Structure 1
Amino acid sequence: MSVKSSISLSDQQDAFARGLVEQGRFSSVSAVIQNGLDLLRQKTEADEAETAALQLLLVERQGGAFVSGPEMQSRVSAMIGRKRRGPRVER
């Protein structure tokens, strides 16, 4: 279903949209606007999913054990040592 809507574009936006139509990339200015809105919807949904995943990660980490700075440094140094001793890491 289509819904008619009236919008205002700046001169630059209008020129850009009409240029895309003239190049044959879109059939109409309306198609340009529809595509732009679809891309914005996809980006918004992806941003929301990423934010939700980060919030979940933070909640999970808050429930985990606290590791002090010196202990973390020790763990990182040990991990680097193991990686350097491995056969696939160049020194």
Structure 2
Amino acid sequence: MSVKASVSITDQQDEYARQLVAEGQYASLSAVVQRGLELVRTEEERERAELAALQAFFAERAEGPFVTADEGRRRTEDMIAAKSRAHGL
């Protein structure tokens, strides 16, 4: 189902959209606007998923044991040394 809507765009946006249609990249100005809206939707979904993943990560870390900065550095150095040995470096 299609819904008609009136939108306002800048002169530059109009020129660019018409150029895309003239070059054959899109069938119509409506197709350009529809593609733009789809890109906005997918970008927002990706951002929401990234935020949820970060929130889950921080929640998991908050529930885990506390590690001091010195201990974190030591663990990182140990991990790097082990990886270096594993790769013959």
TM-score grouping bracket, smaller chain normalisation: over 0.9
SS, match of residue 70 in structure 1? helix
Distance (Å, rounded) in 2 between the aligned partners of 1:65 and 1:72: 12
Distance (Å, rounded) in 1 between the aligned partners of 2:88 and 2:11: 56
- What TM-score do you get using the length of structure 1 for normalisation? 0.91
What is the 5 A alignment of 1:3-82?
A: 3-82=3-82
- Classify 1:80/1:19 alpha carbon distance in 2 versus 1 (closer, same or farther; 3 Å): same
- What TM-score do you get using the length of structure 2 for normalisation? 0.93
Query: Percent of pairs identical after alignment?
Result: 47
Distance (Å, rounded) in 2 between the aligned partners of 1:81 and 1:69: 18
Q: What is the deviation of 1:89?
A: 4.3
Q: What is the deviation of 1:3?
A: 0.6
| Gap regions ≥5 residues in structure 1 | none
Report the number of matched residues.
89
> Segments of 4+ in structure 1 off by > 4 A?
none
| Gap regions ≥5 residues in structure 2 | none
Aligned residue type for 2:85? R
